Amino acid sequence: MKADLIDIFIEESGDDVYIRLQGTLGFMQLAAVREKIEMLIGGPGKFWFLDLEKVRFVDDEYLQLFLNVLNRIKKKEGTLVLLFDNAENIAYFSKFANIFEIYPSRDAYRRSGLLKQLKLVGATYSKQTGLRLSPGISVFLLILLVGWFLTLFSIIQNQSEEIREQKAQRMELENQKHQMVQEIDELRSMIGPLRHLGLVADSATSRSFENISDWVTYLEMLESRRRGN
């Protein structure tokens, strides 16, 4: 849309409000720009992205305007992000570079979220130095890693002990099995001659054997069977 010869584009998406200004802004356009921006920030929204990449400022009063806009947005618990990457505007806002959030694009601002979280916990990242940690965070991570390794070592030791105990129990059971097999073989070898003599009853004669009072009577009964009586 056009507003007093100022090119203003507005796009709203959820909590995001994108405002793009274009042209040369001097004292004559200040009132119109102030009116339009204050009207926009009075509406719904959480993040206001003000694209100034194609704006040329010729009056310092716009700095105060954007400072007032920033304060109003902060009172609403919102965020104002200035978008530009040209050297002229970087120099124009240099006095307040530590106050405004300035990024080349909305994507650059969103990507900065992780870096902000790292800074909050004492970590910084740059292409030249890579990821750098504060001394406190370094000590904390060192303690955390040592604790993790000790825990892992303890778990491995406990598992090794359990494996050794299981092997010992398995060997003991195998020895007991082998011993029982030997004892059974010995009993079979001892019972064999008695069975041939008829001194051990099998399942077919077990009931008759219960009625015999002594071995002599039992032997007489076997002899009688042999003769066919």
107-164 pLDDT, tens digit per residue, is 888 887 655 555 544 544 445 555 565 666 677 778 888 888 889 888 988 888 888 8
Q: What is the CATH number of the domain that holds 51?
A: 3.30.750.24
Distance CA 130, CA 74 (A): 33
Report how far residue 77's alpha carbon sits from residue 209's, in angstroms, rounded to the nearest whole number: 103
How far is residue 35's CA from residue 26's CA, in Å, rounded to a whole number?
A: 15
Q: Are 40 and 19 in contact (CB under 8 A)?
A: yes
Same domain for 173 and 75:
no
Q: What is the pTM of this model?
A: 0.49
C-alpha distances in Å from residue 16, one per residue of 31, 46, 49: 25, 6, 7
Domain containing 191: what range? 134-196
Q: Are 50 and 67 in contact (CB under 8 A)?
A: no
Same domain (yes/no): 205, 186: no
75 and 164 in a single domain? The answer is: no
Q: Which residue has the higher pLDDT, 4 or 196?
A: 196
Three-class DSSP category at 48:
strand
- Average pLDDT of the chain to the nearest whole number: 79
pLDDT tens profile 33-83 = 999 898 888 888 889 999 999 999 999 999 999 999 999 999 988 899 999
The tens digit of pLDDT for each residue in 79-122 reads 999 999 999 999 999 999 999 999 999 888 888 765 555 554 45
Q: What is the pLDDT of residue 146?
A: 86
Region 21-33: mean pLDDT is 91
Asked if 206 and 189 sit in the same domain, the reply is no
